[in-house]
């Protein structure tokens, strides 16, 4: 069953993430893909994440397909104008990519090419509309395509955004623009996630909860102060502290596994997306502890 079929038939999905290399040596990415093969339903391939220049997401997706895992093409609007975006989307479809996650993309000032010209010709909502159009066989200008796409269209949402209301407005616009599934920014507070889901469940879209493993109390504090839209509750920070330095990572893995279990058992969301950020090799352990493999 494909990622889309699974989600649309109400089955719980598990996805993970892989970043293309900075360079042409794909051995590490391939290693991660192979580790995850058979354990996840799809792998997101990031698009010059944090505006740091790397191999493009499209090539990463093709490599992912070659190694037998279904990819989700992350597409940001930072580096390409509407012509470039549409043309890459057509190419992606022809190469067998079926899932696309539309994002605006981190600003160039966050990355390693700070003098680059940020494009943002269109942005996430605009891109969602473009992909919807390509699925109907039309480009942005309404010109007919010779062969249309049939992408499963995704977007991102930040349930812990502060203030939240403008973010929820944008969430609704993304749905109107054609988003069928959402991945959330990393969530840590299951009660607040449930609250967000009460709102989200009004709409016929699938929601996949984003999870990032906490390696230490220090990392949790760092996320709270520095990363927009992430809020790690104090209890979890205390739990990591109590575990001590040596056991912190193990405790972090347990926390993620526990959250996955809870999201699965209580059907809070339609799936989970594990962003391992450098700990891709730990994903199988997390899934085992969550009892999902």
Partner 1 sequence: MIITKKKDFQELYENIKGYKSFFLLGCSECATLCGTGGEPELKEMKEALESLGREVTGTFVAKTGCQVLGTKVELKPFKEAIDKAECIIVLSCGAGTQTAVELYEDKPVYPANDSMFLGNMTRLQMFDERCSLCGKCILDKTGGICPLTTCPKGLLHGPCGGMKDGHCEVSPELQCAWVRIYERMKRLNKLDELRNLMMEPKEWSQSQKPRRQYEKKEKTKK
Contacting residues toward partner 1, per CB under 8 A? 78, 82, 104, 106-107, 109-110, 118, 120-126, 129, 140, 156, 158, 161-163, 165-167, 169-170, 172-173, 176-177, 185, 228-229
Report the alpha-carbon distance of residue 221 to residue 55 in Å, rounded.
31
Q: Quickly list DSSP for 54-106.
A: -S-HHHHHHHHHHTT--EEEEEESSS--HHHHHHHHHHHHHTT--EEEEE---
Q: Which two tokens stand for residue 20?
A: 């293309």
In this complex, which beta carbon is closest to partner 1, that of residue 129 or of residue 206? Answer: 129
In this complex, which beta carbon is closest to partner 1, that of residue 138 or of residue 173? Answer: 173
Closest to 207 measured CA to CA, from 232, 228, 180: 180
Minimal distance, residue 201 CB to partner 1, in Å: 19
Contact 57, 24 (CB under 8 A): no
In this complex, which beta carbon is closest to partner 1, that of residue 231 or of residue 282? Answer: 231
How far CA 37 is from CA of 43, 64, 66, in Å, comes to 9, 10, 12
In this complex, which beta carbon is closest to partner 1, that of residue 67 or of residue 120? Answer: 120
Strand partners, 44: 17, 72
Indicate the DSSP class of residue 148: -
Report the alpha-carbon distance of residue 47 to residue 78 in Å, rounded.
10
Contacts by 146-150 with C-beta closer than 8 Å and gap 24+? 149/89, 149/90, 149/93, 150/93, 150/98
Minimal distance, residue 36 CB to partner 1, in Å: 24
CB-neighbour burial class of residue 145 (10 A; exposed 0-12, middle 13-18, buried 19+): middle
In this complex, which beta carbon is closest to partner 1, that of residue 69 or of residue 177? Answer: 177
Instruction: Give the containing element (helix H, strand E) for 184.
Output: strand 181-186
In the block, tokens 């996650």 appear at 101
In this complex, which beta carbon is closest to partner 1, that of residue 29 or of residue 105? Answer: 105
In this complex, which beta carbon is closest to partner 1, that of residue 176 or of residue 267? Answer: 176
Minimal distance, residue 282 CB to partner 1, in Å: 25
Minimal distance, residue 38 CB to partner 1, in Å: 31
In this complex, which beta carbon is closest to partner 1, that of residue 97 or of residue 175? Answer: 175
In the block, tokens 């070659």 appear at 66
């Amino acid at each position: 069953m494909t990622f889309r079929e699974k989600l649309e038939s109400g089955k719980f999905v598990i996805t993970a993430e892989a970043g293309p290399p900075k360079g042409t040596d794909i051995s590490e990415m391939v290693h991660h893909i192979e580790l995850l093969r058979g354990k996840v339903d799809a792998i997101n391939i990031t698009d010059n994440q944090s505006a740091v220049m790397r191999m493009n997401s499209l090539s990463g997706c093709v490599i992912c397909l070659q190694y037998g895992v279904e990819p989700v093409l992350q597409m940001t609007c930072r580096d390409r104008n509407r012509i470039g975006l549409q043309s890459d989307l057509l190419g992606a479809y022809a190469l067998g990519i079926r899932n696309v996650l539309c994002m605006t993309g981190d600003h160039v000032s966050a990355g390693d090419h700070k003098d680059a010209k940020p494009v943002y010709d269109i942005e996430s909502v605009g891109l969602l509309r473009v992909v919807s159009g390509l699925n109907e066989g039309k480009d942005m200008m309404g010109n007919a395509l010779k062969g249309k796409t049939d992408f499963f269209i995704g977007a991102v949402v930040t349930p812990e955004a502060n203030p939240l209301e403008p973010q929820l407005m944008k969430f609704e616009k993304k749905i109107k623009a054609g988003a069928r599934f959402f991945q959330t920014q990393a969530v840590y507070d299951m009660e607040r996630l449930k609250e967000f889901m009460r709102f989200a469940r009004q709409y016929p879209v699938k929601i996949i909860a984003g999870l990032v493993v906490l390696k230490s109390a220090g990392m949790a504090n760092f996320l709270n102060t520095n990363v927009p839209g992430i809020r790690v509750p104090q209890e979890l920070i205390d739990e990591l502290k109590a575990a001590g330095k040596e056991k912190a990572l193990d405790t972090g893995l347990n926390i993620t596994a526990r959250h996955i279990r809870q999201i699965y058992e209580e059907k809070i969301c339609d799936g989970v997306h594990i962003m391992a950020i450098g700990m891709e090799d730990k994903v199988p352990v997390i899934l085992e502890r969550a009892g999902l493999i």
